[in-house]
Amino acid sequence: PAAVIVAIDGPSGTGKSSTSKAVAAKLGLSYLDTGAQYRAITWWMISNGIDIDDPAEIAVAAAKPVIVSGTDPSAPTITVDGEDASGPIRTQDVTSKVSAVSAVPEVRALITQLQRDIAAGAGQGIVVEGRDIGTTVLPDADLKVFLTASPEARAARRSGEIKGADVTATKEALIKRDAADSGRKTSPLAKADDAVEVDTTELTLDQVIECVVTLIEEKR
Ligand code: C5P
């Protein structure tokens, strides 16, 4: 079959990453975690003393780091200037600052181009997860899925991933980040008109995977 392009968007804690990786592995497709790219550029900004509260400074620095994503769903990688960034991009510090960095239009323009190049080069097809994939990055995707879940379910899932995390604090941080991502001017978190919305609150991960696989098979 021809290369299939799948866009999976939604707020944090809806199961985007777990679902996207599993679906890509099952169908022999590549996988791209676009949140990891925004986290990587944020980590570089922090490490290089860029003022996160100054969009102009971020805009000027945005083209400096070289961000490379490995798209094997069983072992996705991310490097910044050749250095493995997969650990540092998951820290609380990066998580709390990524929305401010990713709201800067110059950052989005550069990362969006990277994402389009990767999708165009994925021979068998690709599953791309993020916030604006269906609306902005790949508007012609063969399938667009928008995952949602109740704030309680999302916070519980995220707390489960972080050792010693407090569910209430996690929920507040998630809601704050989603509000920032949904409220920004340039390509906010949004469901594309032609996306299929899947509420994962009451579903197991396997059920969500099955649902997306079925939706892809219907398109092929
Ligand atoms: O998916 P993840 O939680 O790793 O994303 C981190 C952040 O990256 C999001 O909160 C958002 O600010 C930004 N992001 C974005 N556009 C995307 C993917 C992520 O702005 N397509």
Decide if 217 is inside a domain: no
- Residues with CB under 6 Å of ligand 1 are 12, 34-35, 38-39, 98-99, 102, 130-133, 177, 181
Using the mean position of ligand 1's atoms as its centre, give its distance from the Cα of residue 21 in Å: 16
3-state helix, strand, coil in the chain (%, to 5): 50, 15, 35
Q: How many domains does the chain have?
A: 1
pLDDT tens digits along 119-134: 999 999 999 999 999 9
List pLDDT tens digits, range 53-108.
999 999 999 999 999 999 999 999 999 999 999 999 999 999 999 999 999 999 99
Residue span of the structural domain in which 79 resides: 4-212
17 among annotated binding-site residues = yes
Instruction: Kindly give the distance from the C-alpha atom of residue 22 to the centroid of ligand 1, in angstroms, as a whole number.
Output: 19
Mean pLDDT of 203-212: 97
Question: Residue 20: inside a domain, yes or no?
Answer: yes
Residue 188 alpha carbon to ligand 1 centre in Å: 10
Pocket test for ligand 1, best of 16, 98, 132 (most atoms within 8 A of CB): 98
Q: What is the pLDDT of residues 12-65, one digit of tens each?
A: 999 999 999 999 999 999 999 999 999 999 999 999 999 999 999 999 999 999
Residue 84 lies in a domain: yes
29/92 Cα distance (integer angstroms): 31
Whether the model clears a pTM of 0.80, i.e. scores above it, the answer is yes
Task: Please check whether residue 34 lies inside any domain of the structure.
Answer: yes
How remote is the CA of residue 38 from the centroid of ligand 1, in Å? 6
Q: How far is CA 133 from CA 9, 52, 137, 156, in A?
A: 6, 24, 5, 25
219 part of a folded domain: no
CA 27 – CA 210 distance, rounded (Å): 11
Closest-lying ligand 1 atom to the alpha carbon of residue 42: 8
> Which CATH number does the domain housing residue 54 bear?
3.40.50.300
pLDDT band at 166 (very low <50, low <70, confident <90, very high): confident
At 40, is the secondary structure helix, strand, or coil?
A: helix
Residue 218 located in a structural domain: no
How would you write 116-184 as a 3-class SS string? Answer: HHHHHCCCCEEEEEECCHHHHHCCCCCEEEEEECCHHHHHHHHHHHCCCCCHHHHHHHHHHHHHHHHHC
To the question of whether residue 69 is assigned a binding role by annotation, the answer is: no
| CA R_g for the chain | 16
